[in-house]
Amino acid sequence: MKRAIVWAVFLLLAAPVAALEIKVGKAPNFIRLTPDGEHAVVTNFGSDEVSLISLKSMRQIRKVPGGYGPLGIAVDPAGQRVYVSNMESGLVKAFTLPMLELEDTFKVGHIPTDLCLTPDGYHLLVANYGKGKWGRLDIFDLQKQRVVESVKVGVRPQALAVNPAGDTVYVANSAESTVSVISLDVNKVIGTLKVGDGPNGLAISRNGRKLYITHSRSNDLWVWDLRRGQVLHKVPMPEGPFRFSLSPDEKWVAVACYRAGEVALLDADIAGEPSIRRIRVRKNPVDAVFTADAGRILVTCEGEEKVLVMPAPAAAPKPADRKSVV
């Protein structure tokens, strides 16, 4: 397979972008929107709390105990519940929406990190480090209220993404530079993708054809063609790219770059000469999520007790100086 050659343009803003600040708990990490787009849920890892933000008033309206080490978030398709992983206790907590009232607590594997739901909402997928060398993907049946299958994956699974058909889940193994491909029809690993160093974020396009992967150690974003089984693009990022999201119209990608203290914005199509807009934000951004109307980007900053609300780009950045990257 030929190595992808990507032309990248870096546009660096010298000063932080003007942004609204929403006070939350300590060390906010992950953030997810409710299906109606009216609220955002934030896990505050440092204060063991979960925050609920109103996207109408742009303020925190609820903050509740979230268990020990709250991290991963999954919101059910009906918008009635939110699930939060507790890294330090091996539990998942279920809260009702919109009041964030604790409804249930489930025992899962050792050190659960990321969560996602199958599109039908019947199964909760839980990535956990496991007690040995290898990580596990726990498949939790929400009707039976138990783990029905635990699949061995790579080392230190950090991120999950399920395809739109709901029959395949991808698991980023952060300490192994691989992505495990698991069939949910048979609950087995059916393939392994060799990726960059330190995969920490995943997203799949709505048509299920592209898989986006950020790598926190090789400092890049890869785009896989899932039908052809090959890498389409490798795009260099500012230091420490971590969590990211596609805009609702899939025109943009917003990447939180932890060590650089920046958010990187680029055209999701990455056709020919992708341009990157580097926006300096606050200390240690972890996650970046577009609002439902694609008008704003919510950024969690672990180094501060804040979520930043910054304007989303209205148009693609214009090319400036080009730099060839292999």
Radius of gyration of the chain (CA): 18
Percent of the chain residues past pLDDT 90, beyond the cut: 84
pTM: 0.90
The tokens of 265 are what?
């914005």
Q: Domain ranges in the chain?
A: 21-248
Sign of CA dihedral 123, 124, 127, 133: negative
Evaluate if residue 78 carries a pLDDT over 90: yes
Which of 8-12, 82-86, 248-252 has the lowest average pLDDT? Answer: 8-12
Q: What is the DSSP letter of 100?
A: T
Confidence of residue 318 (pLDDT cuts 50, 70, 90): very low
Q: Which fold has domain 21-248?
A: Methylamine Dehydrogenase; Chain H (2.130.10)
